[in-house]
């Protein structure tokens, strides 16, 4: 399982990148939905890692208002990634349509810690909307600057050609139409999306 993420010299050049469908749905019951959702990742030299996620979701739920609220209960798009070779800790970013986000770090689901405990630096999140074929999607662009990753992991992080582990998700635990979608399929509901054994390869290559 892999996704090829291009690395561009500047953000202005970042116009074409592969799109990953978030279409593997899990733990479904009556009343659950399957919103059409997508993700894309690319790098910018000297800047960091961008992820763009969007969903043509109906019945939006937007209740969380503060950083690290339980955003997964809202309409939520999530990006999990382990950016540093040799370090099993991965970051999870869970974001609602207003750009409110939950962010943690750890090796597994248990004992995760909030990223704000380690650094005052933050990801850059820009909410967005997309019009396509008469439909409207909500989404966001998240930038993980190199300086942010360096401070969080205690390394001098520079983005180059490499392979990272990660996944993209769509959920809405407390929506009137709940759902649990992933790009790379996951397994047990006990682990949920925090299932690093099911992460795929995100392969960064120069464009």
The model's confidence at residue 108, banded by pLDDT at 50, 70 and 90, is very high
Which domains are delineated in the chain? 2-8+19-206 (2.60.40.1190)
Residue of 31, 46, 41 whose CA lies nearest to 172: 31
Assess whether pLDDT exceeds 90 at residue 99: yes
Average of per-residue pLDDT across 141-164: 98
- What confidence score (pLDDT) does residue 29 get? 96
For the chain, give the percent of residues with pLDDT over 90: 94
The pLDDT tens digits for 183-194 are 999 999 999 999
Contacts of 25 (CB under 8 A, 6+ apart): 32, 34, 179, 180, 181, 182
Q: Which residues contact 10 (CB under 8 A, 6 or more apart)?
A: 44, 45
pTM (predicted TM-score)? 0.97
From CA 11, how far away is CA 41, in angstroms rounded? 12
pLDDT computed for residue 15 by the predictor: 84
What average pLDDT does the structure give for the chain? Answer: 97
């Amino acid at each position: 399982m892999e996704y090829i993420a291009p690395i561009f010299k500047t953000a202005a050049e970042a116009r074409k990148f592969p799109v990953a469908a978030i279409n593997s749905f899990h733990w479904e019951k009556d009343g659950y939905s399957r919103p059409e959702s997508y993700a894309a990742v690319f790098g910018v030299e000297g800047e960091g890692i961008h992820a763009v996620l969007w969903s043509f979701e109906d019945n939006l739920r937007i209740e969380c208002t503060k950083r690290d609220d339980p955003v997964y209960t809202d309409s939520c798009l999530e990006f999990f990634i382990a950016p540093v070779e040799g370090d099993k800790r991965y970051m999870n970013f869970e974001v609602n349509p207003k750009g409110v986000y939950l962010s943690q770090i750890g090796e597994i689901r248990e004992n995760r810690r909030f990223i704000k405990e380690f650094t005052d630096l933050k990801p850059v999140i820009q909410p967005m909307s997309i019009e396509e074929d008469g439909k409207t999607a909500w989404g966001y662009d998240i930038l993980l600057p190199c300086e942010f990753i360096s401070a969080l992991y205690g390394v001098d992080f520079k983005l180059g050609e490499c392979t990272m582990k990660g996944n993209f998700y769509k959920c809405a635990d407390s929506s009137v139409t709940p759902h649990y979608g992933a790009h790379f399929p996951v397994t047990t509901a006990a682990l949920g999306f925090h299932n690093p054994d099911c992460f795929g390869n995100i392969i960064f290559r120069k464009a």
